[in-house]
Amino acid sequence: MLVALAVLCAIFASQSEFFLSERNLTTILRNSVDLSVVCAGMTIVIILGGIDVSVGGILAVSAVLIGRAYQYGMPDWVVILVGLGAGALLGAMNGAIIAKTRVPPIVATLGTMYIFIAVLFLVIGGVWISGLPNTLSFLVLGDFVGVPAGVFVIGLVYAFSWLLLRRTPWGQRVVAIGCDEVAARLVGIQVDRTKIQAYALLGLFAGIAAILYVARLRNVEVNIGTNIALEAIAATILGGANIRGGIGSLIGTLMGVLFIKITQNGLVLIGVSSLWETVVIGGLLIVVLILDALETRRVS
Amino acid sequence: MKDPLAQRMFFLFGLLIAAGVMGALLSPHFVQTSTVAYLLQYVPVLGVLGMAQTLVMLSGGPGIDLSIGATMSLVGLAIAGLFALGVPMVLACMIGLAIGGLLGAVNAFLVCVVKVPSLMGTLATFFAYSGLALALTGGSPIGGIPDWFGILAQGRILGIPVHMWTVFVPLAIVLHVMLTYTRVGSHIYAAGNDERAAFLSGVKVWRLRFGLYCLSGVIAGLAAIMTLSWFQAARPDAGEGMELLSVTIAVLGGAHIFGGIGRISGTVLAVLIVTTLQVALQLANISQAWQLAAIGLLLIGSVVADNAVGERLRARTRRAGT
């Protein structure tokens, strides 16, 4: 993955001298902050053996609530709490539906995505929320000791997720459930509770992403979050996670995110229409999936 | 009423009637004969996609085709593009169906030969196809479809849209007969119920699924032709959202997401329910948001109901076995 990333950067750098400029790299970083935060949660949910296609909806609802909270003149900390709370709550709702009713995660989150989008429409009423204050913008646009603040946000989220996944009993439970749910249940792991917690964590991260989104753009559009679920799943798979559960890597996912964002940025710079980016991502996914399958066949 | 599947049919009928009654209560315009024609206008496109999705799910695996809407967009563009290049319309449609089959075959290759989970494989092709549809056209629709071609989706026979008569009903009957009375049909159910047992009793499970993914592509092509005739233009986003809606319809109609259970008649009823709901809310001038919410609730609710039914069904077969 690292090699692929390097090759990609080399290609773009040779085609456009602007690509490696500090400003462009910062732009790429700022654009990837929301996606990478969501992806950390998505990786954990996929390792658990689940999937969540409703993260875009969660992000949208959190963002719109943040926007409304701002408009009512709430202080920053309330705004942040609203975003985090809404995200975690909606995520927990997904988890509860999946764990308690045994609806397959893809179907359940498909259903809740419809519902979240409905909520978005009802709250936003078809009009953009714009002109929000920039009190939180430093989180994405600011610098801290000369390093863009986004680096710290991503670093914190990934360090937290990594510790949670690899250094706590909770993380071991997640991996165990992803490897074999029935066995996990039989050895006494509380599968349902762990699932709800994992989906709530993803929701929480979507809430953080919503805060970052609002901080960066200072508005809330009607079609916010439409692509992020599929992009997040694509990045996670590109990063080496197995959709069947049990296997996945946070670092790999982060690479996957950078890969997608650099592709999007680079294509524009070398003068290819941005319309081609989904084709490239789709093609890449197909190649990675085939390579993956061949690899597993060779090993077994 | 011991048969859970029959119970499901009654449940769906009840839901359909409830949707109709709701429509009547919501809007004075709903109870008119013109509503039926209006409603049936929407049914065929969604209906054939739902049937394709049902077939893919039935054969198990677990099978799902997320690229179905993107395939539809791409085929529509291909047909309109070919016609613009001077290929006769009928031939262009034939080629379009073939392209649909080919796009389906890519899915089939990924899922059945490379053995990528269907969710991932078709997600990847969804990206690729919908991206291609946008990139090749630069986002603008291709028009110039001849007027006579509009007959298919805009004409009426006995007040019912032509594509209802010529595409939807025949396809539903053919697929129903295939599933219920032919060996292929029983093989599909067998593969969906227990892949290993089916394989050991000589069913060529993967070849069967390969065929079904191709068929799904062809049916998406049919949907593209109908949409083309309806709007007289091919839009690069014609099939947007169709993948999720078709899954919703298949699941609501009783198709089990892991395969082996489901009927075409259920899918047909589900399409009628969803369209009735949509039209009723539309006529009552209720925000589109509620339509989405209703579909989401229906989807989750129907799987919950389905799980209950499935459990009873399994319990019954266990009793029958002992």
Check residue A55 and give its pLDDT: 92
Lookup result for tokens 């979050």: A225
Look at B296 and A132; give whichever has higher pLDDT.
B296
Say yes or no for a CB contact (<8 Å) between A244 and B117: yes
Q: What b/e readout covers A4-43, taking b as 16+ CB neighbours within 10 angstroms?
A: eeeebbeebeeebeebeeeebebebbbbbbbbbbbbbbbb
Residue of A116, A123, A286 to mutate, interface with B, max B Cβ within 10 Å: A286
Fold of domain B43-304: ABC transporter involved in vitamin B12 uptake, BtuC (1.10.3470)
What's the gap between Cα B300 and its chain centre?
18
Q: For residue A147, what are the β-bridge partners?
A: A144
Contact B261, B313 (CB under 8 A): yes
Q: Is B75 on the interface with A (CB under 8 A)?
A: no
Check residue A39 and give its pLDDT: 92
Phi/psi of residue A129, each to 5°? -95, 120
Q: What b/e readout covers A262-279, taking b as 16+ CB neighbours within 10 angstroms?
A: bbbbbbeeeeeeebbbbb
Contact A61, A90 (CB under 8 A): yes
Check residue B72 and give its pLDDT: 92
Cβ neighbours of residue A53 under 8 Å, at least 6 residues apart?
A106, A109, A110, A113, A229, A230, A233
Give chain A positions within 8 Å (CB) of B249. Answer: none
Interface A:B, Cβ pairs < 8 A: 137
Of A164, A242, A176, A247, nearest to A205 by C-alpha is: A164
pLDDT band at B322 (very low <50, low <70, confident <90, very high): very low
Say yes or no for a CB contact (<8 Å) between B139 and A275: yes
**Crossing angle (nearest 10°) for helices B4-26 and B288-321:** 160
Cβ neighbours of residue B188 under 8 Å, at least 6 residues apart?
B55, B58, B59, B179, B208, B212
In this complex, which of B127, B293, B304 lies closest to A278 when CB atoms are compared? Answer: B127
Q: In angstroms, what separates the C-alpha of B152 from chain A's closest C-alpha?
A: 31
pLDDT band at A27 (very low <50, low <70, confident <90, very high): confident
Say yes or no for a CB contact (<8 Å) between A243 and B293: no
Look at A169 and B38; give whichever has higher pLDDT.
A169
Give chain B positions within 8 Å (CB) of A106. Answer: 64, 119, 257
In this complex, which of A106, A115, A285 lies closest to B127 when CB atoms are compared? Answer: A285
Say yes or no for a CB contact (<8 Å) between B116 and A293: yes
In this complex, which of A103, A114, A237 lies closest to B304 when CB atoms are compared? Answer: A103
In this complex, which of A237, A279, A285 lies closest to B135 when CB atoms are compared? Answer: A279
**How crowded is the C-beta side of B105, counted as CA atoms within 13 Å?**
6
Give chain A positions within 8 Å (CB) of B307. Answer: 101-103
Q: In angstroms, what separates the C-alpha of B107 from chain A's closest C-alpha?
A: 10
Q: What is the pLDDT of residues A237-263, one digit of tens each?
A: 888 888 778 888 888 899 889 888 888
Q: What is the pLDDT of residues A96-137, one digit of tens each?
A: 999 888 788 888 888 888 888 888 888 877 677 777 777 777
Q: What is the mean pLDDT of residues A55-67?
A: 90
Give chain B positions within 8 Å (CB) of A289. Answer: 110, 114, 116, 120-121, 124
Lookup result for tokens 């629709």: B141
Lookup result for tokens 């997720």: A161
Q: Which B residues, 107 through 166, put their C-beta within 8 Å of a C-beta on chain A? A: 110, 114-117, 119-121, 123-132, 134-135, 138-139
Q: Is A272 on the interface with B (CB under 8 A)?
A: no
Q: In angstroms, what separates the C-alpha of B258 from chain A's closest C-alpha?
A: 9
Q: Is the pLDDT of residue B312 over 80?
A: no
In this complex, which of B114, B115, B296 lies closest to A112 when CB atoms are compared? Answer: B296
Check residue B321 and give its pLDDT: 47
Q: Is the pLDDT of residue B302 over 80?
A: no
Determine the residue of chain A that is closest to B124 in CA distance.
Answer: A282
Q: In angstroms, what separates the C-alpha of B235 from chain A's closest C-alpha?
A: 15
Determine the residue of chain A that is closest to B139 in CA distance.
Answer: A275
Say yes or no for a CB contact (<8 Å) between B124 and A275: no
Q: How far apart are CA B56 and CA B197, in angstroms?
A: 19
Domain boundaries, chain A: 30-226
Check residue B52 and give its pLDDT: 92
Check residue A59 and give its pLDDT: 92
Domain boundaries, chain B: 43-304
Q: In angstroms, what separates the C-alpha of A113 from chain B's closest C-alpha?
A: 7
Q: What is the mean pLDDT of residues A212-221?
A: 82
Q: What is the mean pLDDT of residues B24-39?
A: 75
Q: What is the mean pLDDT of residues B125-154?
A: 81
Q: Is B105 on the interface with A (CB under 8 A)?
A: no
Q: What b/e readout covers A194-213, taking b as 16+ CB neighbours within 10 angstroms?
A: bbbbbbbbbbbbbbbbbbbb
Residue type at B25 in one-letter notation: L
Q: What is the pLDDT of residues B192-238, one digit of tens each?
A: 888 888 888 888 888 888 999 999 999 999 999 988 888 888 888 88
Structure pTM?
A: 0.81
Cβ neighbours of residue A133 under 8 Å, at least 6 residues apart?
A70, A218
Lowest mean pLDDT among A274-278, B164-168, B254-258: A274-278
Contact B188, B208 (CB under 8 A): yes
Check residue B146 and give its pLDDT: 80
pLDDT band at B100 (very low <50, low <70, confident <90, very high): very high
Distance (Å) of CA A127 to CA A64, A237, B6, B41: 11, 35, 46, 31
Q: Is A241 on the interface with B (CB under 8 A)?
A: no
pLDDT band at B95 (very low <50, low <70, confident <90, very high): very high
Q: Is A123 on the interface with B (CB under 8 A)?
A: no
For the beta carbon of residue A51, count every other beta carbon within 10 angstroms: 26
Three-state SS at A215:
helix
